[in-house]
Amino acid sequence: MYVHRMTNEIVKREPALPVTEDIVVLARDPQEMANAQQGLIVWMDQKIAGLRAELAEAEENLATAKRMKVRTEGWVRVIRRAQSRVTYYEKARTALEEGYCIIPDLPVQLIAVKTTRKKPPKKWRSGKAWQANEATALALPEGVGRYVDTSVEVEEREVAVPDKDYTRTEHRAIDFLDVDFPFKVVKPQILLGLEAAMKRKLFDEIGVLPATNRGGDPILVGRIKRKEGYTERALTFLIAWWIDTSDL
């Protein structure tokens, strides 16, 4: 970038933040996959460096706004968004560095979600019980939180409808449930992979592929999430899988 000064001297100004160019990762064999993983780690390093610089700049602006005694809500939102992005890419980099293979984000049957809440939000909802029977993951830093089942304990009540001679059924979540692995006959390596991932507390969600149980052992995957407004992104990584030649 070139800037024209009042002295008519043309000088070159280096960019304040690292420039991160998007890349396309393509792998057709194990060696190419290993190279792709390493390339993604390098890209993540650059991305995280740029985001940390943005976060530091936003924090400096917030401190200045506080000294000036002006409204700070906007700066707080910018900092939260930057922190969320840093956490997202840091977790993704850690997953790559620890050898988890990244794959396209496919439809997943979730079996565990990570949360720091002691109880699910207790909000009465009318209609079917399943509308209240769901736990959602929080995008948390690695090592933080605990895993719970995607289903929750639900209670039911009948509520009189004003000026009507009938009632409506309402449900609300009252407690989290322990994770229930839906496949009861699996190779031990699958459950060991699940155990290691749950102890590591790196992924926001853990699920299985295919999304519909068609018998046989599943592919176990972990997902890292980031949500901004109504937009949600997720990165999916292989945790454990195997092939039995008798099925081929």
Q: What is the pLDDT of residues 228-245, one digit of tens each?
A: 878 888 999 999 887 666
Put simply, whether the predicted model's pTM sits higher than 0.85 gets the answer no
The rounded mean pLDDT for the chain is 83
**CA 179 to CA 147: how far, in whole Å?**
7
- 122 DSSP assignment: -
* Neighbour tally for 56: CB within 10 Å: 12
Give 37-59 pLDDT, tens digit per residue.
888 999 999 999 999 999 999 99
Q: In what order do the strands lie in the sheet with 167-176?
A: 125-126, 167-176, 152-160
Name the token pair of 215: 């018998």
Mean pLDDT of 188-203: 92
